[in-house]
Each structure stands twice: as C-alpha cells, then as structure tokens.
Structure 1
Amino acid sequence: MTIRVLVADDHAAVRAGIVLILEGQEDIEVVGQASDGAQAIALALELRPDVVLMDIRMPKLDGISATRELSGVADVLILTTFDIDEYIFGALRAGAAGFLLKNTDADALVEAVRVVSRGDGLISPSVTRRLISAFGAAVPERRPQAAGNLTPRERQVLACIGRGLSNAEISAELDMAEATTKTHVSRLLNKLGLRSRVQAAILAQELPPGSSGM
C-alpha cells in the first residue's frame, strides 16, 4: 500500500529536498506541499494524507499549532532543525506521532515515515531522555491513577508500548492479531486522554513499577 505524505516547510529548498528523498521510494507518494501551518491544515483536510511531515517554525501558523489541529486527521511527524525542549515537549503535547531533527539521514527519514504510517511512534534518540523527563515533570498528577481504568490486556499493551515495541511486535508477544492490537492502543489512548502512542510510551515509563506491567 502506498503511503501518502504531505510535506510542510516554509523553505522551498528544504521541501524540494525532502520530496526528492521520499519520491524515490516505491511505497511513498508526496501528495502535497505546504509553506506554512495554515496551508498544511487546509491541504491535509482536502487530501487526507497518511503522514504529514511538519516543520515547527513557519509563518501564519507554527507547526505545533497545526499539529494540534490535525489530531485525528493524519499522523504528524515533526522534522525540525531545533531540539529545544519547548519545541519537543510542545510537539508531544500537540499529538505528534514522531519527532526528528533535520540532520537525520535520508534512509532514517524514509524509515520514520514508514514507522509513523503503521501507527507506531518514533522519537529522535538524541532527545528521548529529555522528552521523558519533561513529560514526567509536566503531568505528575496523571501518573498514580493513569492505568486504573485500563483492562488487564490494555495494561499489557501499554507496558509493551513503554518498551518501544511496534504494533507488530506487540501482536507477536501477546499472541493476537495486529488489528486487535491497534484497537487496544486506540482505546487505551482514549482512556488516558492521550493524543499519541509516543505520549503513552513516555507515560508507561513514568508509572510506578507494576502499574502497567503484565
């Protein structure tokens, strides 16, 4: 199945470079390009891409605000030059499915698009630890009771997400269909009031031992 991608960046040369990389893949099609956050939202609503590659610093509407508006419309992969904590945490809170720096090589960028399109989360290794610390410090009130309303199976899935497993890997470990795994992920995100599995992964690591385990 072809992955439909929208590229949003205010620098034409950067957009062209990203498009060139992605269009060289047989399983990826760039369906649109946006030069600001407002245009990214309009095109995403019109074209319904699977993944939006989103810059953060853009005119009219920044990438974080645009990501927040696109929750439930498309999976957003943030691609930015800046690894500032405010941007990283803001992207996570907005519901981004992934966060990469623009110094990521072409192969890693392509794989990131594929990972996010499968419903899995992805964070640049260089910012993961800072992201975990920021998330934990910002939402301590959620930690004690976060898993309380989850079913035993949903807690198992949450624990797997916290270990960084993909949907396919969770399905294999828990011996269930991948479609069932996706359903459990969707339900636990809804119960926890989270926008993405990245948020769930970080929350799972912040929970007291045993509260999200098997």
Structure 2
Amino acid sequence: MLRVILAEDSVLLRAGLAEVLTRSGHQVVAAVGDAEGLLRAVAAARPDVVVTDVRMPPDHRDEGLRAALELRSADPALPVLVLSQYVATAYAARLFSGAPGSAGGLGYLLKDRVGEVDEFLDALERVAAGQTVIDPEVVRVLLAHRPGDHPLARLTPREREVLALIAEGLNNQAVAARLFVTEAAVVKHASSIFTKLDLDPAEGNRRVLAVLAHLRGAAAG
C-alpha cells in the first residue's frame, strides 16, 4: 500500500484518481486542488509518492510543476509523478533537469495515460519504487525530426525503438518483452546505442537520466 497525496484542480478527475487508487489498495492521505494546498499537505504528512497536475490555480500555468520542483529541492528522495494535459517537452526538461541518480523516483505522464488504469498504476508504483517514468508520447516527440547530422541519426530503426523504451524508464527485461526479442538482443542494442551517442552505459535511473539529458540537448538544438 502506498500513501499518496493528490494535487489536481479538476474535482471530477481528482475524485476519479482517488477512487482508482483506493480500489487498488493505496491510501490517499490528502487530495487538494492547488499548489499551495499540495505544499501544506506534504509538510503535514510525508507521503510515499506525490501525484500533481502541471497547471493549477490561480493562473493555471505551471504552478503544480513549480510546487513539484520545490518539493524535490527540499527533499530529493520524495517520489513525484507529474501529470500534464499536453506534450510539453519543456515541462519534462525542467522536471528532470539536474535530477541526481540517487534521488527518489520521478515521473512525467500525460493525463490521457490515466485512462489506462493499469498503465497509470504501474507508473505510480515504479516512481514510488525509485524509478524514472517518461510518457512514451513525450519520448516520441523528443526523438522525432532530428537533422541528418545529429548523433541520433546514427541509430538504426531498431536502436531508436530500444532508445525510446529506455528513455521511458524500462529495464532490459521489460524492453525485451515489449519488442518480443531476447534480453541479450536488448543488451547488444543498448551497448551500440550508448557507444554511438557517447553515453555512459550506467544502470538504473542514471541510465535513463543520461538518455534524457541527451534528448533534452537534441530538443534544444
């Protein structure tokens, strides 16, 4: 059972998320509608994981994201899953920028993914367990439309598939299952990817964060 704090200004979505979590055996210790309420709730009862929307009152811009960054600055071990209505790679970049490999789990998920209950719960539990989760649509946008001279252009189509799944936070076993290949094949592809992109083939969160750093640079270029 996870102790969860929810921050979502839509009353219906907040109630729906709370219902999904409760039925799945988790405990919603607080459900609030704005960023200030989120900060107060976390201070009052440290949860196992925070789920927050990006856009919150009063201006409905990035109040939830800023609250998430403030929480992580105060406690880098606090797992946080951020929900966004749109594929905003700049929001994802801000969330993951400078996140140390030893920090707690961190996730960025599109709200459409919440409708896939199993996927949402899997993402939540992975973040709570200290892993990194990136919505596949965000990864797709980051990988798309790179110029021919960009390092990503060196990758084969299969290597790009593997890279996208690594960037989502999947381990080698999960990537193999998703692509219906052997784990040994994934290891071989990953080794080639990291060689071509001059990345350190570190395991776990550090590996994902290294990929994200590269993709952020690609998005900015």
User: What TM-score bracket applies, with the shorter chain setting the length?
Assistant: 0.5 to 0.7
Q: Secondary structure at the match of 1:33?
A: strand
Name the residue aligned to 1:180.
Answer: none
Tell me the C-alpha RMSD between the 2 structures: 3.6
In the other structure, the counterpart of 1:62 is: 63
For residue 34 of structure 1, report the CA deviation from its aligned partner. Answer: 1.6
Cα 1:19–1:167, aligned 2, differ >3 Å: closer, same or farther?
farther
Where relative contact order (Cα < 8 A, 6+ residues apart) is larger, the structure is 1
**Would you say 1:111 and 2:112 are equivalent positions?**
no
Could you report, residue by residue, the CA deviation over 1:150-182 in whole angstroms, capped at 9, with x for unpaired residues? xxxxxxxxxxx779455999xxx9xxxxxxxxx
One-letter code aligned to 1:108? E
The within-5 A match list for 1:140-151 is none
- Count the aligned residue pairs: 162
Measured against aligned partners, the alpha-carbon deviations of 1:34-69 in whole angstroms (never above 9, x if no partner) come to: 211121111112211111111001014711111111
Distance 1:198 1:75 in 2: 16
Instruction: Please list every run of 5 or more consecutive structure 1 residues that lacks an aligned counterpart in the other structure.
Output: 134-160, 174-183, 190-196, 208-214
Partner Cα separation in structure 1 for residue 167 and residue 15 of structure 2: 35
Unpaired stretches in structure 2, ≥5 consecutive residues: 100-104, 145-165, 175-183, 185-202
Question: Within 1, Cα distance between the matches of 2:40 and 2:66?
Answer: 13
Partner of 1:152: none
What CA distance in whole angstroms lies between the structure 1 residues aligned with 2:65 and 2:216? 24
User: Is 1:101 the counterpart of 2:110 in the alignment?
Assistant: yes
Are 1:43 and 2:52 counterparts?
Answer: no
CA distance in 2, matches of 1:82, 1:198: 22
Structure 1: which 4+ aligned runs deviate by more than 4 Å?
Answer: 161-169, 204-207
In structure 2, how many angstroms separate the alpha carbons of the residues matched to 1:58 and 1:7?
Answer: 12
1:163–1:13: structure 2 CA closer, same or farther, 3 Å change rule? closer
User: What's the % identity of the aligned pairs?
Assistant: 31
1:202 deviates by 2.0
| CA contact 1:119–1:167 (8 Å) conserved in 2 | no
Distance 2:87 2:168 in 1: 23
> Distance between the aligned counterparts of 1:15 and 1:5, measured in 2?
12
Please name the residue that 1:21 is paired with: 20
